[in-house]
Amino acid sequence: MAARAPLSVNARATGAPGDVPATGAPGDVPATGAPGAARATGGIRFDGVTVAYDGTTVLDALDLTVEPGEVMALLGPSGSGKTTALRAVAGFVRPASGRVLLGERDVTGLPPHRRGIGMVVQQYALFPHLRVAENVAFGLRARRVPRAAVRERVAEALDMTGMGAYARRHPRELSGGQQQRVAIARALAIRPGVLLLDEPLSALDAQLRSGMLAELARLHRELPDVSILYVTHDQVEALTLADRIAVMDRARLRACGTPQQLYRAPQNAFTASFVGNANLLPVTVRAGGALLGGAELKVDTQGAAPGATATLCVRPHLVGLGDGPNRLTGTVREIQWRGATHRLYADVAGHRVMADVRELRDPPAHGDQVALHFAPDDAVLLPAGVGADEERR
Ligand code: ADP
């Protein structure tokens, strides 16, 4: 992937503060207001946004709306166009066609600093020579917010991120998690109506990441008017934080819905495999069910024509061990102890089936024959297709 300069809308981390375009239009960002008040924007709308680099389309006619106050996760594999979409909202990327709207305002032609957006990227992008408070104040100074208001807003933003006690430190005197909090405080200080977060937790270790996830959820509760676009390749982050998830793949939007909708009723195999784990089995539709190898399975065919090929999706935790409805016979290929559960991989008619079952006292061994089953209501029949892993093989 092409290297990116660490950027922040309210502070370009070029090391040259003079680089940041002062807006000359302080009215762009309200200089005063109730503490914590954010400017409502009416959400974000991508209207057929296409971006190409050197003739290659990396974002293909994206239509997507983030409602006011909503957290939308852009989830997808590396290179699928997520960051490009986010940078189109920020104003760092000019679409070849289409429009970006913030509320009713078409901002497609506006420079970044005129959009009233806060942005946080993975690499923190703090100025090393500035203290924490100065880093947070940076975007406000660039916008010529009066001194007293700057002080108030910096204190407020540091308070919200739990960094009030660190105002006088330099970034090098902070941990990675603390630096990211400062970056978030800096984005919040301008009281943005839209907050763009680009893999904000990727540089943190697992424990810090889950703490910061909870923090972000809390911030969102405290800033209910701020629309958040959150780029991640991590489904746990998307499922935890997002009101809705937009699944991206190869420059295209593949699905969009609430985490529950995408998990329980995915629209395609790619989405099923990217939002949660999924068994994706190629089947032939028959009246009232489907055929997998020789096994006749009862599932809702949702009107698919008998004889058609389709993909059967069953979540691993909905596959049981032993006899039951929709019985499958398989050979154990691998069994993993995961504390409260065992993950079993079995070969069923040449296909891998995963089952997550409660910890077994006497687990089957590699090579054992086992019976597996799942309830008809727990399976979803999807258009024929493969999951994210297989697509890349
Ligand atoms: P993601 O955020 O999903 O990982 P990106 O939006 O960063 O994906 O990138 C999408 C595609 O665009 C990738 O193939 C990437 O290499 C390419 N790309 C991104 N930025 C540039 C750039 N400045 N110049 C050329 N190609 C780019």
How do strand 97-102 and strand 71-75 relate by DSSP bridges? unpaired
In terms of pLDDT, which residue wins out, 207 or 308? 308
Give this prediction's pTM.
Answer: 0.84
pLDDT at 212: 86
Q: What is the CA radius of gyration of the chain?
A: 24
| Domains in the chain: ranges and CATH | 19-261 (3.40.50.300), 282-383 (2.40.50.140)
Average pLDDT, the chain: 87
What's the chain's length in residues?
Answer: 393
Query: Rounded to an integer, what distance in angstroms lies between the CA atom of residue 237 and that of residue 229?
Result: 12
Query: Rounded to an integer, what distance in angstroms lies between the CA atom of residue 75 and that of residue 272?
Result: 12
The answer to whether the beta carbons of residues 135 and 182 sit under 8 Å apart is: yes
The answer to whether the beta carbons of residues 364 and 335 sit under 8 Å apart is: yes
The residue whose CA is least distant from atom 25 of ligand 1 is 53
pLDDT tens-digit map of 121-142: 887 789 999 999 999 999 899 8
pLDDT tens-digit map of 80-116: 999 999 999 999 999 999 999 999 999 999 999 889 8
The residue whose CA is least distant from atom 6 of ligand 1 is 81
pLDDT of 304 over the 70 cut: yes
Q: Strand order of the sheet with strand 369-373?
A: 320-321, 369-373, 328-337, 341-348, 351-358
Residue 363 makes CB contacts below 8 A (sequence gap 6+) with: 335, 337, 342, 344
pLDDT at 36: 38
Task: Name all residues whose Cβ lies below 6 A of ligand 1.
Answer: 1-2, 53, 58, 76, 78-84
The residue whose CA is least distant from atom 26 of ligand 1 is 53
Centre of ligand 1 to C-alpha 78, Å, is: 9
Mutate to test the pocket of ligand 1, among 4, 7, 53, 237 (most ligand atoms within 8 A of CB): 53
The answer to whether the beta carbons of residues 255 and 80 sit under 8 Å apart is: no
The residue whose CA is least distant from atom 16 of ligand 1 is 1
Mutate to test the pocket of ligand 1, among 49, 57, 58 (most ligand atoms within 8 A of CB): 58
Atom of ligand 1 nearest to the CA of 78: 4
Atom of ligand 1 nearest to the CA of 54: 25
Query: Rounded to an integer, what distance in angstroms lies between the CA atom of residue 196 and that of residue 215?
Result: 16
pLDDT tens-digit map of 1-60: 333 333 333 333 333 222 223 332 222 333 333 333 445 568 999 999 999 999 999 999
